[in-house]
Each structure stands twice: as structure tokens, then as C-alpha cells.
A = this chain, B = another copy of it.
Amino acid sequence: MKISGLHYRTIWPTASGSVRVIDQSRLPFAFATIDLETLDDAAGAIRSMVVRGAPLIGATAAYGMALALRSDPSDASLDEAARTLKATRPTAHNLAWALARMRAALATVAPADRLEAAFGEAASICDADVEQCRAIGIHGAEIIRRSAAAAGRTLNILTHCNAGWLACVDWGTALAPIYRAHDEGIEVHVWVDETRPRNQGASLTAFELAAHGVPHTVIADNLGGHLMQRGRVDMVIVGSDRTTAAGDVCNKVGTYLKALAAHDNAVPFYAALPVSTIDWSIERGGDIPIEERSPMELTHITGRTASGNIETVRVVPESSRALNLAFDVTPAKLVTALITERGVCAATRSGLRSLYPDRGLSA
């Protein structure tokens, strides 16, 4: 997508053999890129959320494995890289998926040829993600088009966290249908959940939508239920960090509360996701490990002062402890449908099987 008229992806290889990413920890007030030179650079970028979003975590892990092979293309180095990268974030399924795909592609390649093969495979993972997100956009836009036609007015879509192009390589998952609908001339307006504690909605989704010219309004995470009660939300679209084989959706913490409100007010609730987020080995969302992050993400907030400096302030008194769990699970019963690159399906085992009769083995 475009920033100030220039087309960007979130990650790309440079001519010198490093990998360049947009530093998302500095958005929305500064746009900067960082060059990843080593495995540790890549692991650190994922851990510190310089890059985040399930698909982009997978893409960065793939390139991280390639970077590890620059200094040592041995089997031991491959093992070590996979272990290090796997440990960076426990919930997002794309991480494990991308690492498994890289290992499968490199296993039979001689060490001397691995570096080139690894960069090739990582690029292929990125290209596939772009194509999948584009397809999600097409399938999701069809739903928006029908709803807008039925409503006969601007369609109000609520989203939580950032599942836009910044969360992927390009296009996005939840936002891809919105971008496509907007580009087709359908009038949409997006309610952007601030998404505490890291404010990915206020800082990333708002930034993306503004850069693309999509009308939107930032709201507190607390407000969505009231807006649904008053008929001001026509649909909810979110992303997914891991989707179970039975259709439970693990996504940014707070998603479940919006799904409950949508259900209570008969507002359709969609999760948009590429096949790489589906964990076919898990049925129940309750079995997904939930990442616990630093309480400082909650107790401190970074923003821009009136004088233009970036400053971090503490908002919780020192005498109080804080708990910061990053994800929750929305049970399939609350999900109207899943939007994937292969089409739209019920959030059920049979729904997913109808789109993936191979159960994702060929993905």
C-alpha cells in the first residue's frame, strides 16, 4: 500500500543481503525503516514488536532463518535459528508455520546452496501472503458490497487491533476487504478500536486508513458495545493470530468482548485470515497458549508532546501491579463466518474442510 504516494511492503530484502522492515514501534509519529542483518536482529524485531501481525511475524521469521544462514549454513545453524525464532511469540500460528515451511524447503539443499534457497523461499512466502491477502480482499469486499447495497448508505465497519497491511506483507487481512470496497467506490466508514494496551488501532490502523484516505473514527475499546446497541455498527471484521480446526478465533485481547456484543445485537462478526493462521492440530481455543507481555505496556504510554518530542509517561501508580495478556479466544459460535483466501466459510470444522479438503497440507 502507499505512504505519501510511494508503494511499500512491510518487509523486503536489500541489495546488500540484509532485510529491511518498517519500524512499527515508531508509528504513527515517525516513519522509519530498520535493516535486519542477523538472526538476532530478526528475533529481536519480532519480540519487541518492531514488526507484528500474524502474517508479518511469519514472513520475518522466514527471513530471519535466511539471515542465520549468512554466517553458518549448517544443519545445526538451521535448528538453532528455528528454536530462537519460535520462542519469540507463543500465540501467533504463522510463526511455526513459516519456520516449518522454511525447514522443509531447505532440508534437502546442500549447505553451500542454502542461503540463496532460503532467501528465495522467504520471498515466496511473502509473495504468497500478498496474493492471499489480495484474495481475502476480493471475497470480503463482496460481503461489504452486498451489505452496503442493502443498507443504502455508508457502511460502518468496526475493527479491533491492526490487521491491515502493516500486519501482513501488503493489503492486510481484516482491512483488505475494506480497502478493496473503498477503492471500488463503496462508501465505508471504519470504527477503529484504540486497542489497549499497545494501541495498535490508534497508532497503526488509524495511520493506514488515513494514508489510504478511508474515512474512520478512533474509539475507546469500551465504546463498541454501545455503538452496536444504538445501530451504529453494520459489521465487525477482525484478523486472527491462530484459528483452530473447529473455527475458534484467537486474536488480540478484547476481540471476544466485541464478538459478544455483536452477537447480542445481531451484528455480523467476521474473522479474515490466510490459511497459514489455521492450526489444524488444535480444536479448542482454550488450548492455545496466551502470550503474557511486560506490564510496562499497560503502565506506560508513549506519545508525542505538544512540543513535538516523543515521550513515555507512566499512567498507573507504582503501588499497583498490572497484568498484560495479549490475546483472547472468540468461540466459533460467535463468529458469523471466516473470510479466507479461498472464500467465505462457516466457522466450523466442516466449513473449514469445505474450503480446505486437504486440511491445509498443501498450503
- By a beta-carbon cutoff of 8 Å, the part of chain A in contact with chain B is 28-29, 192, 194-197, 199, 202-203, 206-207, 209-210, 216-226, 229-230, 252-254, 256-258, 260-261, 264, 286, 290, 298-306, 311-317, 319-325, 327-329
Kindly state the separation between the CA atoms of A73 and B253 in the bound complex, as whole angstroms.
55
Kindly state the separation between the CA atoms of A264 and B221 in the bound complex, as whole angstroms.
19
Q: How many copies does the complex hold?
A: 2
Kindly state the separation between the CA atoms of A36 and B311 in the bound complex, as whole angstroms.
34
Q: Chain B's nearest CB lies how many Å from the CB of A31?
A: 11
Kindly state the separation between the CA atoms of A224 and B260 in the bound complex, as whole angstroms.
13
Kindly state the separation between the CA atoms of A264 and B324 in the bound complex, as whole angstroms.
22
On whether the beta carbons of B256 and A225 are closer than 8 Å, the reply is: yes
Kindly state the separation between the CA atoms of A133 and B302 in the bound complex, as whole angstroms.
38
Given contacts A223-B323, A256-B229, contact A301 B313 (CB under 8 A): yes
Q: Chain B's nearest CB lies how many Å from the CB of A1?
A: 15
On whether the beta carbons of B317 and A226 are closer than 8 Å, the reply is: no
On whether the beta carbons of B320 and A216 are closer than 8 Å, the reply is: yes
What would be 18 A-B contacts, judged by CB atoms less than 8 Å apart?
A196-B196, A207-B317, A207-B319, A209-B320, A218-B316, A219-B324, A223-B254, A223-B325, A225-B257, A225-B260, A226-B253, A257-B261, A301-B315, A303-B314, A304-B313, A304-B314, A305-B314, A313-B313
Q: Chain B's nearest CB lies how many Å from the CB of A13?
A: 29
On whether the beta carbons of B257 and A217 are closer than 8 Å, the reply is: no
B residues within 8 A CB of A325?
223, 226
Kindly state the separation between the CA atoms of A325 and B321 in the bound complex, as whole angstroms.
28
Given contacts A28-B317, A202-B315, contact A220 B253 (CB under 8 A): yes
Please name the residue on chain B nearest to A195 by beta carbon: B222
B residues within 8 A CB of A304?
313-314
